[in-house]
Amino acid sequence: AHRFLLALLLCGCLLQRCNGFASLAAHQHGHHPPHALFLASSSSSSKTKTKRNKQKQKQKKSAGFGGAPTTRATTAKTNPRQTQTLRRWDYRQPPFWITHANLTVTLRKLQATQQATQQYHVDITNIMTVEENHIHALDDDDDDWMLLDGDASVLTLQSVSLMCTNGIDHDSTTTLVPLQPEVDYQVDHQQLRIRGSLLRRGNQGLTKIQTVAEIRQLDQKELSGLFSIRPRQQQHQQQQNLDPLILLTHCEPMGMRRISYFLDQPDSVAVFTVRIQVPWIDKHNRPVLLSNGNLVESGTMTMPTAGGAGPFPAAGAKPDPYYFATYHDPHPKPTYLFALFLVVATGSNSNNNNNNRLVQLSDTYISSLSGRETRVTIYCTDLCHASTDDIGLMEQQQQQLREKLSFALASLKRAMRWDEEWFGLEYDLDEYNIVAARSFSLGAMENKGLNFFQTSLIATHTDVTTDITYDLVEKTIAHEYFHNWSGNRVTLRDWFQFTLKEGLTVFRDQEFGACQTSPTVARIEAVKILREKQFREDADPQHRQPVRPDEIHVETDKNGIISSTALLDKLASSTAYHKGAEVIRMLQTILGRKVFGKGLKLYFSRHENSPHSHGATCDDFLQAMTDAASEVVAEDDEASTLKKFVQNSGQFGCWFSTAGTPVVTYSYSYDCSKQAFSLTLSQSLTHVNSSNVVLYIPMAVGLLDSKSGQVVEATVLHFTQQQQIFQFENLPNPVVLSILRDFSAPVILQPDVSSQENSPGEEECERLAFLATYETDGFNRWEAMQQLYTVGIFALMEQQEKSSSSESIVAKVLDAFKSILLEDGIDPSTKSYLLNLPTESVLSRKLAQPRPQGIHKSRQQLGTLIKVALHKELKSLYDELTQSIEAESVEAQTDRKSRAKRSLRNVLLDFLCFCRNDKKELVTAANLATRHFEEARCLTDKLAAFRKLASMSGPDSVGKARVVCNEQFRLYALATGDPMVLNKWFQTQALSDLPDVLEHVQRLTQHPNFRATNVGNFRSLLMAFCLNANAFHCKEGYAFIGSVILQMDGAAPQLAKELFQSTKLMNWKSYPEHLGGLMKAELEHLSTSKTLNKELAAAIDQALR
């Protein structure tokens, strides 16, 4: 999920589009963002009975994935590519646990080579305290081994020893006993197996294992384990020698096995102490050494330079100065949260200064609960300019760069305070560090106390950062911090429970976002992501899965190794993140915030990591909520809502195990004589053959008096049957139904049109118009307005095709729009969402057969009708906001209120630039957009105006204004030095509404600032053009993108595959016959290529079939 988020962010796609541009906004979460995913480790062996001399060939069972082989598929010999099935119910614990780990990480310099990072290797000495797992039962002789994961392609094992501590306190003695290969232990390419009989010492003392291994491969394409990164793009080869060596880790899911032999699985938690030792070449340039936990000590030392075998120094080696730092994390954690960050000078050149290369910003946070002080620091490796001898200029640059980190640091402190006030959860260490690196392409990672981020999710400035990205940065930082409890302090039993850390944390960051911005806007954005991503997953049989899957089918590579990427696609899904968050939210809706908070505290207290607590499950979470509700019921017998939940909590648990999106159909009637309102609900599951599954669905409803518009009834209905009727009495006037308020459940809602007396369209349109005007629930008011817009746009489209009338529907749209526009007291951000038209991509998904050109034309027509009817009101509010923004300060502000005002003002600009084919209107709109562009104080406003001008054509003055603005924005992008701003220049032109946009995009592919192999350039221009449905969906558009796919397939196969997927060519059958035929013809043309990549060829073949 975070990889996808980052891909969109890098190409500048986090921009909402109001004027027919496709909506490219995307979020994390995610988080968290989005994150790599996790291959579980091997920890206990297979139950298969074999002879002792065949033990090496036996398949290992995975504690992390419940018994499925973690790395090698059993049938790989007969077929180089197999699908391996991993099953949740196969989980079992390993025979031994690691309770403590004491690691010494030593960086040593080798003989000089051409590449700087190859001059170094890393020695890892790991002393692990081992404890027998008495719960584990010995099923066969092979269980009498401790299995440690290790990747022999990276690690070179030097020795294994047994450290036995006998006695008590100061009388204890430690004996180091080297173990013999093949006799006491066995090692292969993926595991170290130590004989269990050596580790069972009863009460005689503690048993410790020491392993010594060496890492020589620090330059690697697979960002897993310990690896080097470059602080920035290098212009010259010699510049690389001036940069320090920067190393960091990524251990989720299986990176720890590339650092040291370990139980590399989520249920194995240990207390870590880490000592880092590095050469100190430049006395004036102290290394930066970070790990999880608190800094215990740091200082200087001397030790011999390695020159002998492995990590051992040659005889008579001269001692060299070293710098060290020791960290201790008192809280047990799984290996996927282990982290290191090292910045080490590679020479004594005065230009090679870490302080010139590494920008950091620090502050102190004081807890509101205990008064504990925490040092919070953000380090960024990619913001630094070339070093200079001008000290004054250097300090000025440093200060400017630190300012780019200030928003992120303030966001972190707000998240820490909010978690204390909202859930009573306090940070538990003396230090909290964030490292940002452009080379960290995985988005963000929640390592305990040492988070890693992609630079674009940390560094901000109004000149290069849009307001939407500011929101994303704040939310992502909060998401990773909230993992400190939901994921770090309380971790998972196995990876099938993935939603328990990600879904829960997404829910928490959504709640935080609702408090920082408008609650309505936060809810709208969450639902938009759910519908755009998760509902589409449920509709696709290849990606559909429950929130907590029972089994996963994952493909192995040609060597029979399970692909981490394939596993990522299966587990780190929108279902786990976003639907998982909705399941958590439903619990809060049913229980109420107070009881839910009580259940959350109970869950954390029960399952906090300890030597005797090894991860939690979704069932554990549900049980904590049920127990919290039961306690309240025991004290208050009248708590009927909680009683229903306690009685039906098992039924609610079906949300974790049921795939598909539920469809809820509703019908209603009002009886004047009885003054009663009746609501009938029916539920079914889409795309899933599970008719016997009935879910527990909380349906929040409201009844509005049809005369006054006031809410006369608001409640949450417990919908627990296939069909259920709910009665409301004592209603003297007819009421208007508001259903699924605040989107109380992740369902598809449909009216039962067969039960409506009048024309279904007419009756529903009346209801939507009423709710758009009077509804007090912010989300449902937005939903009603979006649906009303949709009805109006489709009516205009039908009028064009069938000459039907749309006047009455358009009149209702105008009335609702005007009431919102003129209503005081609505937050500007909320008002901008209420007024904004649905995007063309959203409208297309509502049609059985998408008609891109018809949708585009009708949407433009409705916008123009609104502008013409309400121009005076629109311009008045636009001018009022302009004066307010200009009065704030000379520079653009990033606070919530300022961003909200800009959001509404830019939506108003969109409507004011809708034009009929009238010269005067076009010139007026172009002048307004030009003034907006020239007076903009931030990228958000500048980009909003550029997007409008980029689509304007007509009189010469309009065309000139467009050309001038285009060039000014390009020069602005180059001046900022930020490639993401230049990508926005490409993207805006690809999404423009000019009649010759295809030819323009073709010319841009030859632009000197464009490189097809640059991922950001490629996505911003070519993939964005595919989202410009009005321009792309034609014979020439298909042919152009088809030719690009063929060209890129040889140079960058992954990008070619991404481009193919963005074209929607595989959905040709769902389009009207004339477009579907053209799409199919292009697919057939692509299939004739003899040089297609196998994966792309398979995708094309599947689309044709």
Q: pLDDT (tens digit, 9 = 90+) per residue, 989-1027?
A: 999 999 999 999 999 999 999 999 999 999 999 999 999
* Amino acid (1-letter code) at residue 853: Q
Alpha helices in 977-1072 (DSSP H): 979-990, 997-1004, 1015-1018, 1024-1027, 1029-1032, 1035-1051, 1053-1062
Residue 59: predicted pLDDT = 36
Residue 752: predicted pLDDT = 86
Would you state the torsion angle of the CA atoms of residues 432, 438, 444, 448, taken in this order, to the nearest 10 degrees? -30
Instruction: Read off the tokens for 284.
Output: 């004036």
Instruction: Read off the tokens for 264.
Output: 């590399």
What is the mean pLDDT of the segment spanning 754-779? 81
Instruction: Give the whole-angstrom CA distance, residue 810 versus residue 812.
Output: 5
Task: Give residues with Cβ within 8 angstroms of 468, minimum separation 6.
Answer: 14, 15, 16, 25, 940
Sign of CA dihedral 347, 352, 353, 354: negative
Residue 655: predicted pLDDT = 98
Pick the more confident residue, 1062 or 231: 1062
Instruction: Give the whole-angstrom CA distance, residue 723 versus residue 683.
Output: 7
What is the mean pLDDT of the segment spanning 352-378? 87
Question: Is the pLDDT at 620 greater than 70, yes or no?
Answer: yes
Catalytic residues: 480
Q: For the chain, give the mean pLDDT.
A: 86
What is the mean pLDDT of the segment spanning 653-682? 96
Residue 34: predicted pLDDT = 29
What is the mean pLDDT of the segment spanning 1074-1085? 97
Closest CA to 822 of 833, 835, 809: 835
Residue 316: predicted pLDDT = 62
Q: Which residues pair with 248 in a beta bridge?
A: 227, 341
Q: pLDDT (tens digit, 9 = 90+) per residue, 301-347?
A: 998 765 544 455 555 667 889 999 999 999 999 999 999 999 998 76
Give 56's pLDDT tier (boundaries 50, 70, 90).
very low
Instruction: Give the whole-angstrom CA distance, residue 824 versus residue 831.
Output: 10
Closest CA to 733 of 784, 675, 778, 688: 675
Pick the more confident residue, 231 or 146: 146
Question: Is the pLDDT at 555 greater than 70, yes or no?
Answer: yes
What is the mean pLDDT of the segment spanning 403-430? 97
Least confident range from 163-177, 182-196, 273-287, 478-492: namely: 163-177
Q: pLDDT (tens digit, 9 = 90+) per residue, 250-269?
A: 998 888 999 999 999 999 99
Burial class, 395, CB count within 10 angstroms (exposed 0-12 / middle 13-18 / buried 19+): exposed
Residue 614: predicted pLDDT = 86
Question: Is the pLDDT at 25 greater than 50, yes or no?
Answer: no
Burial class, 1008, CB count within 10 angstroms (exposed 0-12 / middle 13-18 / buried 19+): exposed
Pick the more confident residue, 151 or 486: 486
Q: pLDDT (tens digit, 9 = 90+) per residue, 375-403?
A: 999 999 876 554 555 667 777 778 888 99
N- to C-terminal Cα separation, the chain: 29
Give the pTM. 0.91
Question: Is the pLDDT at 970 greater than 50, yes or no?
Answer: yes
Question: Is the pLDDT at 759 greater than 60, yes or no?
Answer: no
Instruction: Give the whole-angstrom CA distance, residue 147 versus residue 153.
Output: 18
Pick the more confident residue, 674 or 71: 674
Instruction: Give the whole-angstrom CA distance, residue 963 versus residue 112.
Output: 54
The angle formed by the CA atoms of residues 484, 488 and 493, to the nearest 5 degrees, is: 150
Coil, helix or strand for 86?
strand
Q: Is the CB of residue 501 less than 8 Å from the CB of residue 487?
A: yes
The packing angle between helices 979-990 and 997-1004, to 10°, is 150
What is the mean pLDDT of the segment spanning 112-123? 68
Coil, helix or strand for 636?
coil
Question: Is the pLDDT at 32 greater than 70, yes or no?
Answer: no
Coil, helix or strand for 475?
helix
